[in-house]
């Protein structure tokens, strides 16, 4: 069985999005695209001025956005009529398809806001499909826990614990892992998948080969393989995310990701002509 090793360790860059929300961006900069993943942002602050503006109404087409709240509360509203509140531990998995206009606004004025947003590409055959909004309540998510680790399963399966996101075209794996010092997390991943770890806190060692220090807020791109092994050099928390590559050309245009430039121009035209949201 081929071991998964560290391919590249990346420091996220400081950025802002929405109405000035401060965040750390990794995928979407370097690398620009890690098929099927288009973007990964970590947003978080104890200062309300860093997030209070939120993400006012804006469009998307051709992608899926996965928002995972670790701390804080967001209110979501979109053009499908979906509306709800995200609290600590909740996940919003939105398939934008042919087009959706949505907003994500904090509904607290003090305290800590911390979470992640991942963009997943959609294959050409699904890019103009009907939008779909999936809300995953933290209380309904299953968790594997033993003396060494705690694994919250959002997508995929860890031992006997299976996540709520199933029958997805990229066969995603999305785990939130907490590991104790000097303990190991082991997992078998499909050799076809592209995988990465985002270290949130602590220090870890990955695989069997030596690599640079991995400590706090790092994106770690992994080699293709089957056996992932992570050792906690301290108590640590990280995301393990993996998916089957789509293997198609992409064209980007802000919140739109399609296969050709002409499709991007059509999305922009649809948005300005008020024909963007398909009924």
In a domain, residue 24? The reply is yes
Q: Do residues 96 and 139 touch, judged by C-beta distance below 8 A?
A: no
Domain that includes residue 243, residue range: 6-272
Instruction: Flag whether pLDDT at 109 surpasses 80.
Output: no
pLDDT band, very low/low/confident/very high, at 54 (cuts 50, 70, 90): confident
pTM over 0.85: yes
In a domain, residue 13? The reply is yes
pLDDT band, very low/low/confident/very high, at 279 (cuts 50, 70, 90): low
Sort residue 111 into left (φ over 0), alpha (ψ -120 to 50) or beta. Answer: left
In a domain, residue 279? The reply is no
pLDDT band, very low/low/confident/very high, at 18 (cuts 50, 70, 90): confident
In a domain, residue 264? The reply is yes
In a domain, residue 260? The reply is yes
Residue with tokens 């509904």, as numbered in its chain: 107
CA angle (2 as vertex; 142, 6 as ends), nearest 5: 75
In a domain, residue 245? The reply is yes
DSSP string, 100-159: EEEEEEE--SSS-EEEEEEEEE--GGGTTSPPEEEEE-GGGS-EEE-SSEEEEEEESEET
Q: How many domains are there within the chain?
A: 1
More confident call, 174 vs 79: 174
CATH code, domain carrying 231: 2.60.120.10
**pLDDT tens, 112-167?**
889 999 999 999 999 999 998 889 999 889 999 999 999 999 999 999 999 999 88
- Tokens found for residue 252: 């980007």
CA distance 70 to 23: 14
In a domain, residue 189? The reply is yes
In a domain, residue 277? The reply is no
């Amino acid at each position: 069985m081929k071991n998964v090793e560290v391919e590249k360790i990346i420091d996220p860059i400081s950025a802002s999005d929405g109405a000035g929300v401060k965040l750390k961006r990794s995928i979407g900069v370097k690398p620009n695209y890690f098929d099927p993943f288009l973007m990964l942002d970590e947003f978080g602050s104890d200062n309300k001025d860093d997030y209070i503006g939120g993400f006012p109404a804006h469009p998307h087409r051709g992608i899926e956005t996965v928002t995972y709240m670790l701390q804080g509360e967001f209110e979501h509203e979109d053009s499908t009529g979906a509306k709800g509140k995200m609290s600590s531990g909740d996940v919003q998995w939105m398939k934008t398809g042919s087009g959706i206009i949505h907003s994500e606004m904090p509904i607290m004025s003090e305290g800590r806001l911390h979470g992640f947003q991942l963009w997943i590409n959609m294959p050409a055959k699904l890019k103009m499909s009907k939008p779909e909004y999936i809300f995953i309540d933290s209380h309904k998510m299953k968790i594997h826990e033993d003396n060494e680790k705690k694994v919250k399963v959002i997508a995929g399966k860890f031992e006997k614990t299976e996540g709520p996101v199933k029958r997805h075209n990229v066969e995603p794996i999305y785990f939130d892992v907490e590991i104790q010092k000097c303990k190991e997390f082991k997992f078998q991943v499909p050799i076809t998948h592209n995988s990465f770890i985002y270290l949130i806190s602590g220090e870890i060692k990955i695989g069997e080969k030596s690599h640079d220090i991995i400590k706090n807020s790092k994106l770690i791109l992994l080699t293709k393989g089957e056996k992932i092994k992570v050792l906690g050099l301290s108590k640590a928390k990280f995301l393990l995310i993996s998916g089957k590559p789509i293997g198609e050309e992409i064209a980007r245009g802000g919140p739109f990701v399609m296969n050709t430039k002409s499709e991007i121009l059509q999305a922009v035209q649809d948005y300005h002509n008020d024909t963007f949201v398909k009924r």
